[in-house]
Structure 1
Amino acid sequence: MYNFDIERPGTVADAVSALGREEAQPLSGGQTLIPTLKARLAAPSVLVSLSGIEELKGVRMEGGKLCIGGGTTHGRVAREAEAHYPGLASLAARIGDPAVRNRGTIGGSLANNDPSACYPAGALGSGATILTNSREIAADDYFQGMFSTALEEGEIVTEVRFPVPSAARYEKFIQPASRFPLVAAFVARFEDGVRVAITGASNNGVFRWPEAEVALSSSFTADALEGLTLSGDEMISDLHGSGQYRAHLCGVMTKRAVASLV
């Protein structure tokens, strides 16, 4: 790795101030950033560690929504969200391995927006709101493509607020080497309709599947998805699977998620 300085602020305000330094970059759980630094694919002059900011941690219910601090680890979400939002807790419990779950954070995952990450599907599928140190961003407006979000330079994810559906399930087809999903689907059923978010498949990152949402809102059964297909043209194609294969898996994973809920 290249040489760099490290700042360890104790408050969000101090973190924002530290991120004002030239070439400063936030460090949350480090599960993506540290390997990137080791590979010399990034060379920030300053890392601003968010791990010591207690106000960024915690899981609570407020106003009928599950509110999770941006610095909360996947493992803590898996444990503490179970009583309130079991579908999201199950997603968190299956991210990576124990080491990743005990270090990685929800805010770091959403800020990085890896095209195969699990949390973006949970946030988009839930219709969550991402709070930062300066504003609130609806999930539908937050994700803007592969590794791209609406976050501005120096902006920190402080909290994520999840509307709690009547039922939800995350199903993923795991790529064994990385533990990332090759393709995964998050299905959430609300009183006013169903949301379906797909991760791991598209060159543009996480996305909603409107046709599946319409079909499932009319009939919440796996059979309602029969005949629905996605094009493989905009899907990721690599040594693990072609775009057409990933497009097919979108339907398979969505059906599995629905079948587990009915």
Structure 2
Amino acid sequence: MIPFVNLGGKRALITSGTRGAGAATVALFQELGARVLTSARSNPDKLSDEQFFAADLTRPEGCIGLAAAVRERLGGVDIIVHMLGGSSAPAGGYEALSDQEWRQELDLNLMPAIRLDRELVPAMEARGSGVVIHVTSIQRELPLPEATTAYAAAKAALSTYSKSLSKQVSPKGVRVVRVSPGWIETEASVDLARRLASEHGVDVEQGKQMIMDSLGGIPIGRPSRPEEVANLIAFLASDRAGTITGTEYVIDGGTVPTA
């Protein structure tokens, strides 16, 4: 049976594809027939040289090197999925954020997408086809002032940049779409739940509930799973979504309280 979504013959770059939702997206794209190159600073799963390129994408030279690897190993790219993101900023609100911490958040959550698009999207335009997916976050509209101000601002900038890019390149056949996850139950987030549980003398499920409570609650009662985020990305990258561009798809279990 032919799958509903088929990525056979597509060449895809997926950043940060060695864990969490990134790893789930790499696995699904490969299952659906795509040739995938992914990147991270290290290769914990020992992916082959054909599949993996080690790069620090917070630095310009890392993005340039990855773009060169895309051209060399894949011969170009049909789909770019910008999964890279995260935060190492301290808690404490705006006063705790130095210039360096602001730069780190922007260099991780915004600049890699801008640099890689600048390297790779022109060839998509010249060919008249391609898909760019920017993974943002519900934090861009639901920031937690104590902990995620800089991360949320960087993701908001990514969303605005993505919308502007879509207006420029969609008339040339290149679709640009945003995916905005809420809390995803990855190994890292479960580790956070364990730490919270240990600190407060409760079990891990109660630790997860503490995270959900900090977000104002998740109506479906659980976070998204990595494979669920991957499913959405794969559909949006496929020809089934051929007229979808310039918009943002939220996958958060209903966390954001407004439409």
TM-score, normalised to structure 1's length?
A: 0.29
Structure having the higher strand fraction is 1
TM-score (norm 2): 0.29
Q: Which has the higher contact order (CA 8 A, sep 6+)?
A: 2
